[in-house]
Amino acid sequence: MAASWATVDGPPPVLLAPTAPPPSAGGLSTGGLSVKGVGKLGGQIWEQAELPRVARSGVLINLGNTAPVFGGRQIVVLHDAAVFAQPGGYSWKFRLWYRALQACLVRSDARLVTVSEFSRSELSRFLRTPESRISVIPEGAEHILRETPDPAILDRNGLSGKPFVLAVGNLAPHKNLAGLGNLAKALAARGVPLVISGGVNSSVFSATASLPEPAKYVGRVTDGELHALYRAASCFVFPSLYEGFGLPSVEAMACGCPVVASAIPALEEISGDAALYANPAVPDEFSAQVLRILDDASLAATMKAKGLKRAQDFTWVKAAERLKQTALELRA
């Protein structure tokens, strides 16, 4: 979203970061915004103890589910309620911290924002707060188009010029990658690989699921490599049991890749008629829908066109405009 702030009227924000490690560490993209290193601490202690003191003269915008409990004028974006609804997908330490922190934030004066109507209803239910307390600002997907496709990922994995089906996700149980086993076998019978990209952060996710077999696992990829995978794939499949928004499906649509997604509320809300749907509890439905795309060029072209149009509704420029307006209201 940072790259979109420059297109929105109003004073530009400043990105606040711990001074150790330096703000430039980790390859963080700042979108051209200025970065100010503050404080002497790091991690959650920095966020809770030092960040609110530095930001007290303005409006603090927190984009990643957490925020200082005593943060004054601030906005916090809670992307979903998965830590409550899908607890088995997260480590116990992560669950404990997030649940306690978000319970405190909802009782503070922070302005709460989420990314879909479904997430709003879920957060309202689990945090026991009225839906009117939570604003909805959908995410964007055009960031993937700003990245030059890197076809090296295709060459390294023998995918160049060949059909394949793509899935993106980590091994958290609610991502349901294991539910693609039947699809992987059906594709293998045709000589078409199921390609899976993603990784696991064991400090956050409880990676108890297994990968479907046979499948080609390419691990973590750069944004340029992901762009190339989306563009080259015959179909993108998204089997999640639970999502708050479902950004990968919109990224795929923005890149012209037909989408088959789980028939769950958030994905149906965001993708509309621009995706085909399958019951995530019935693995054969994913096989049937993906094979429809592979076997019917006319259907594939139709879904591609619908996806490209649908993706235009979700942009970071629109999100930045609404978020900046919310910040100006708090500042007034």
pLDDT of residue 26: 47
pLDDT of residue 206: 47
Residues facing residue 236 across a β-bridge: 166, 259
Residues facing residue 167 across a β-bridge: 196
pLDDT of residue 326: 92
CATH number of 2-140+315-331: 3.40.50
pLDDT of residue 331: 80
Segment 142-167, tens digit of pLDDT: 999 999 999 999 999 999 999 999 99
- pLDDT under 50 in the chain at which residues? 24-27, 202-206, 208
**How many Å apart are CA 62 and CA 76, to the nearest integer?**
5
pLDDT of residue 104: 94
pLDDT of residue 21: 55
User: DSSP 3-state assignment of 208?
Assistant: coil
**How many Å apart are CA 317 and CA 4, to the nearest integer?**
5
Segment 202-256, tens digit of pLDDT: 444 445 456 788 999 999 999 999 999 999 999 999 999 999 999 999 999 999 9
Predicted TM-score (pTM) of the model is: 0.89
Asked if 2-140+315-331 and 143-311 have one fold, the answer is yes
Residues facing residue 60 across a β-bridge: 74
**How many Å apart are CA 138 and CA 136, to the nearest integer?**
6
pLDDT of residue 211: 79
* Type of residue numbered 14: V
**How many Å apart are CA 271 and CA 250, to the nearest integer?**
7
Nearest Cα residue to 64 out of 124, 15, 117, 121? 15
> What residue segments make up the domains of the chain, in order of their start?
2-140+315-331, 143-311
Residues facing residue 277 across a β-bridge: 261
- The fold adopted by the segment(s) 143-311 is Rossmann fold (3.40.50)
Handedness of CA 89, 95, 101, 104 (dihedral sign): positive
Long-range contacts of 195-199 (CB under 8 A, 24+ apart): 195/157, 195/159, 195/164, 195/165, 195/166, 195/167, 195/229, 195/233, 196/166, 196/167, 196/168, 196/169, 197/166, 197/167, 197/168, 197/221, 197/226, 197/229, 198/168, 198/169, 198/170, 198/171, 199/170
pLDDT of residue 237: 98
Nearest Cα residue to 182 out of 287, 290, 260, 279? 287
pLDDT of residue 181: 95
Residues facing residue 62 across a β-bridge: 76
